[in-house]
Amino acid sequence: MADSEFQAIQDRKVRDEQMRNMINRKLVESGERERLKELLRERLIECGWRDQLKAHCKDVVRQKGLENITVDDLVAEITPKGRSLVPDQVKKELLQRIRSFLASQTNI
Amino acid sequence: MNSGGCDHLSAFKEEKGIEPFRIIFSYFISCCSRESRKRKALALQCHTCRQMSPRLHSCLHCVFFGCFGAKHIHQHAKSKNHELSMDLTYGAILCRVCSDYVYDREIEELFRTQQRKSALLLGMLNPFSPWEPSEMEVELLHQNPKRRKIDGNSTIGLRGLINLGNTCFMNCIVQALTHTPLLRDYFLSDQHKCQMTQESQQCLVCEMSRLFQEFYSGVRTPHTPYRLLHLVWTHARHLAGYEQQDAHEFLIAALDVIHQHCKASRNKEDADGNTAQVCDCIIDRIFTGGLQSDVTCQECNILYTFRLEMSPRLSTPSGISPWISAPRKTTLHLVSWSDPCATDSHTLISAVFSNGLDRFEEATSLTYCLRRFTRPEHLGSTAKIKCSKCHNYQESTKQLTMKKLPLVACFHLKRFEHSTGYHKKISTYVSFPEELDMTPFMSASRDNNNGYSHQVIQEAASGLTSENKYSLYAVVNHRGTADTGHYTCFIRQHKSHWFRCEDHLITKASLDYEVLKSEGYLLFYHKQILDYE
Ligand SMILES: [Zn+2]
Ligand SMILES: [Zn+2]
Ligand SMILES: [Zn+2]
Ligand SMILES: [Zn+2]
Ligand SMILES: [Zn+2]
Ligand SMILES: [Zn+2]
């Protein structure tokens, strides 16, 4: 890989990171992040995600025993399943909301 | 896992009190002003790697933020010997010594208060909080240790009903009501506080509660609903007797009696002495929505907007019951209402439906009926309105749209025609979807140039606006003629299992080949997304 090419990729990475941080800041600053969190929570309850995951957590805790498991073990154990169970519809809706939020922010 | 805090946390609280928790929580988790949100937005990054990581923690002993994922908070805690830190998303407290999160009632209570305050400021009136049993409920749970787990294949809730002599019309409605998710939640969580304390034996709501207990008790033998029948006969005299009755009429009567018994002794007036506009009983909370009627004077183009309640409970002429109608032909519903805005509160009489035979070929789907219901309609010379601007009786254009969607929409396809001398049944197949999007029929979709805005329809088609979507959960069918016939129904159990109920018989059914192909009479849809009120 040529040096210039490497440099370009590095630059891009930095720019992406700056962009990500800026978007995050906007979301926090406006309170939109809290609203999105609440929306996501509602949707995940409605589609049964919360119940399913809760049942799974209970199974894991029962299997290993409450004394022998940490929150982090539990998080590690359920994360793959939790991610895969989020309906595409919910992801789409959230993405749409973030998009229209960003579109409404003229100064980005 | 430790649910009762830890010595390290207790020692910390002993020394510094609860204030440090409150400060971090209100500045970096649930902010109560735009100023503090701004500060939070700038501060939220790991002091080691400078990333805005998702699981950022704050040290409770010094000013340090570190991320959890790359273990920067762990490294800090270890090198500085700082035991406790707080997760900056939810406020959970991490103890390095115990290597786990620890919990404390007092702190959690503080957080909840703070969270509510902040949510309120962002316009979220009622953010979700998980159910927590009250002391009484904990007591009850201890006293009754038997638990019943209901999984996706459980048949609990399915129960046949004995036919007491032409009572299939009632059995079908009972099946549909007992499978209405929100009614089930209401009754199984024992929320009915009887208003007829002197004569609760006479209360139809109490009887419904017992019925739900019967249905969800797990007993598989058919239930005999004679008490229900008796109560209906007592309270809705026009349904008494052993003749076949109309299932739709029974539904209206049952919902209305339940509504009356819910508020039997309650003061019907609000503080200002006005009769409350919308009833808050469980029936109205679930089944009542609002319509908007826009009437335009043809002469001066002025627009009058009216609000109407729509509920299967209300019968004509004070509201629109069967609020969807007619797969076919000239069902003329007279609806009258008064204009709440006008000073001389005149009454408008108008025709909701007035479609000639010529249109009936098209009326083969529920969506068609809805489109017809909500499209602008010219009111001719026989239905003039008195315009308060040009002070004269004028012809007008009227459009009905849905202002507030009910949680459960019940569609009645008018298959029976009763005129003097003859009874007729229309058996035309009318298709109906499993999933119904009401967006195009909403008042918000109404475009000022008559019709719907293009954009809304496109949005609805792309499936992104799911707020107005409904799912089918029960279908009542009628077999036979207008004079003699038999009612059966299909009900949905869990998310996607369908069953056919014919009095005491319950059999598995296919959604695509049986339910959606059936000659529907009453269609029950529930809203997919509930707004938390
Ligand atoms: Zn870090
Ligand atoms: Zn520290
Ligand atoms: Zn500890
Ligand atoms: Zn009662
Ligand atoms: Zn009511
Ligand atoms: Zn006029």
| Rounded Cα–Cα distance for residues B340 and B306 (Å) | 7
B113 vs B13, B89, B109, B117, B302, CA distance in Å? 19, 16, 6, 6, 49
Residue B462 has pLDDT above 70, yes or no: no
Residue B113: what residue type? T
Q: Which of B262, B428, B461 is nearest to B357 (CA)?
A: B428
Sequence ranges of the domains in chain A: 46-97
The mean per-residue pLDDT over the stretch B325-346 comes to: 28
Q: Do B40 and A72 touch (CB under 8 A)?
A: no
Q: Do A30 and B464 touch (CB under 8 A)?
A: no
Contact B463 A20 (CB under 8 A): no
Are B202 and B117 within one domain? no
Mutate to test the interface with B, among A22, A25, A67 (most CBs of B within 10 A): A25
Residue B386 has what pLDDT?
Answer: 75
Range of the domain at B49: 7-122
B125 vs A32, B84, B142, B531, B532, CA distance in Å? 15, 33, 34, 11, 9
Does any domain span residue B142? no
> Average pLDDT over chain B, rounded to whole?
78
Chain B touched by A21 (CB under 8 Å): yes
Per residue in B423-459, pLDDT tens? 778 788 888 999 999 888 888 877 544 444 444 444 4
Q: List b or e across B232-248, with b for residues whose CB sees 16 or more CB atoms inside 10 angstroms.
A: beebbeebeeeebbbbb
Mean pLDDT of B265-274: 44
Measured in Å, residue B101 CA sits from the centre of ligand 3 at 8
- End-of-domain residue from the set B210, B229, B247: B247
Residues of B in contact with A35 (CB under 8 A): 122-124
Give mean pLDDT, residues A97-101.
89
Q: Note the ipTM here.
A: 0.86
**Of A54 and B336, the one with more pLDDT:** A54
Span B456-482, mean pLDDT? 73
| B117 shares its domain with B179 | no
Res. B32: pLDDT tops 90: no
Give the total number of structural domains in chain B: 2
Measured distance CA(B305)–CA(B337) in Å, rounded: 12
> Do B102 and B19 sit in the same domain of this protein?
yes
Confidence at residue A107, expressed as pLDDT on a 0 to 100 scale = 61
Distance B21 CA to ligand 1 centre (A): 22
CA distance B458 to chain A (A): 15
Name the active-site residue from B61, B486, B497, B504. Answer: B486
Q: Is B497 a catalytic residue?
A: no
Least confident of A71-85, B110-124, B341-355: B341-355
Average pLDDT, integer, range B355-368 = 53
Comparing CB atoms, the residue among B1, B128, B529 nearest residue A41 is B128
Distance CA B439, CA B290 (A): 14
Residue B132 within a domain = no
User: Measured between CA atoms, how close is A71 to chain B, in angstroms?
Assistant: 6
For the domain spanning A46-97, the CATH number is 1.10.246.140
**What CA–CA distance (Å, rounded) separates B24 from B84?**
13
Contacts of B437 (CB under 8 A, 6+ apart): B460, B465, B468, B469, B470
B63-106 per-position pLDDT tens digit: 999 999 899 999 999 999 999 999 998 889 999 999 899 989 89
Inform me whether the C-beta atom of residue A4 falls under 8 Å from chain B C-beta atoms: no
Closest-CA distance, B42 to chain A, in angstroms, reads 7
Q: Is the peptide bond before B317 cis (omega within 30 degrees of 0)?
A: yes
Residue B180's pLDDT band, with cuts at 50, 70 and 90, is very high
Give me the helices (H) in B395-507, please. Answer: 454-462
Q: Is the pLDDT of residue B329 over 50?
A: no
The whole-angstrom separation of Cα B128 and Cα A65 is 29
Q: Where are the beta strands (DSSP E) in B99-181?
A: 100-102
Q: What is the pLDDT, as a whole number, of residue B498?
A: 96
What is the arithmetic mean of pLDDT over B247-260? 87
Whether B522 maps to a domain, the answer reads no
Closest chain A residue to the Cα of B54, Cα to Cα = A24
Q: Is the pLDDT of residue B322 over 50?
A: no
A61 near B CB under 8 A: yes
Q: Is B369 a catalytic residue?
A: no
In this structure, is residue B525 part of a structural domain?
no
Q: Residue B379 pairs with which residues in a beta bridge? A: B396
Q: Contact A70/B464, CB-based, under 8 Å?
A: no
**Distances in whole angstroms, Cα of residue B505 to Cα of each of B176, B245, B509:** 15, 20, 12
B-chain residues near A29 (CB < 8 A)? 34, 37-38, 40-41
